[in-house]
């Protein structure tokens, strides 16, 4: 009898929560009080957006098969898009519920000064917040003279842009930029300094991917079983530290990237230079052929 009473009591607590969940929106709301708390010496005003990246759960048995990128044991992922950061460093935005996501703090050109090293998620209708970006876990929001600017407006919705809302693909995102600017000197008919940047398939990736991510030190990335426990701010582990991007910005062979092209390369570099956005070998083949693939069933 006592057990039945406890069951009735627990059901009375849980049923309203189930009803709430059934009627809740498919999103949650997140607030960053001040992105600059924890970013070290990054000048205020540098961070303009947050890039929101969804990480897909591993759906195949072996840790590094199939390979997602050269670094090894990579996560398949999708860039969902960006949300604005206010002048005071605050951001308020909606994110999809039940999805593992991480954030990247971007400058005006789309290069990340910092990447979140873990994932987070929200429940439907949940509101949650954080102090800053890699701030000390025992810290609290700094005292200000007013309400954060982002709290003085409605939450932002994610803007997918031209890269958002689908599994990442090197062939789709990066190769068109190389085709447009680099093949006149780095194709299979003319290969300067041993670097070929064509999109021809080779050893599971493409010739350009191997050239950029092999032993050329052009692309920084975290290696397999990464043991770096804290990422220094300043973006040197991503696009801002990439020799490739520095060369192109300096006008290598008179190359002039459009802003959208620079953002494409930066997004790839900041996502640890992955090649594929899926663990499915058949869908990887589709991506290698330049096709877009849908979001996975398991998310």
pLDDT tens digits for range 140-150: 777 666 799 99
The boundaries of the domain holding residue 176 are 2-288
> Rounded to whole angstroms, how far apart are CA atoms 299 and 56?
6
Count other Cβ atoms within 10 Å, centred on residue 198. 20
Is 34 within the bounds of a domain? yes
The CA–CA distances, whole Å, from 114 to 11, 51, 151 equal 44, 10, 23
pLDDT, average across residues 183-205: 88
Residue 22 has what pLDDT? 66
Is 294 within the bounds of a domain? no
Is 265 within the bounds of a domain? yes
pLDDT, average across residues 24-49: 93
Is 298 within the bounds of a domain? no
pLDDT in tens, 39-90: 988 999 999 999 999 999 998 988 889 999 998 888 999 999 999 999 999 9
Is 295 within the bounds of a domain? no
> Rounded to whole angstroms, how far apart are CA atoms 80 and 101?
9
Residue 145 has what pLDDT? 64
What residues does 85 pair with on adjacent strands?
Answer: none
């Amino acid at each position: 009898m006592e057990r039945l009473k406890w069951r009735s009591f627990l059901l009375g607590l849980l049923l309203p929560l189930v009803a709430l969940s059934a009627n809740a929106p498919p999103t949650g709301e997140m607030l960053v009080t001040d992105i600059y708390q924890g970013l070290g010496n990054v000048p205020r005003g540098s961070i303009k957006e947050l890039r929101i990246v969804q990480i897909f759960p591993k759906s195949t048995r072996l840790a590094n098969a199939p390979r997602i990128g050269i670094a090894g044991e990579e996560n398949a992922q999708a860039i969902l898009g960006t949300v604005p950061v206010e002048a005071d460093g605050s951001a308020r935005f909606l994110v999809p519920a039940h999805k593992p996501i991480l954030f990247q703090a971007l400058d005006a050109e789309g290069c990340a000064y910092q990447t979140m090293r873990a994932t987070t998620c929200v429940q439907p209708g949940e509101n949650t917040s954080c102090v800053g970006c890699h701030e000390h876990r025992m810290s609290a929001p700094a005292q200000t003279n007013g309400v954060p600017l982002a709290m003085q407006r409605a939450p932002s919705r994610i803007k997918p842009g031209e890269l958002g809302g689908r599994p990442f693909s090197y062939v789709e995102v990066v190769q068109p930029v190389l085709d447009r600017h680099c093949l006149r000197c780095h194709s299979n008919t003319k290969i300067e300094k041993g670097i070929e940047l064509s999109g021809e398939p080779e050893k599971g990736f493409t010739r350009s991917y191997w050239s950029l991510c092999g032993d050329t030190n052009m692309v920084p990335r975290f290696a397999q079983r990464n043991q770096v426990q804290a990422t220094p701010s300043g973006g040197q582990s991503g696009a801002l530290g990439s020799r490739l991007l520095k060369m192109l910005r300096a006008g290598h062979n008179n190359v002039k990237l459009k802003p959208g092209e620079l953002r494409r390369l930066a997004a790839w570099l900041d996502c640890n230079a992955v090649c594929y956005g899926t663990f499915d070998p058949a869908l990887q083949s589709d991506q290698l052929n330049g096709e877009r693939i849908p979001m996975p069933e398991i998310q």
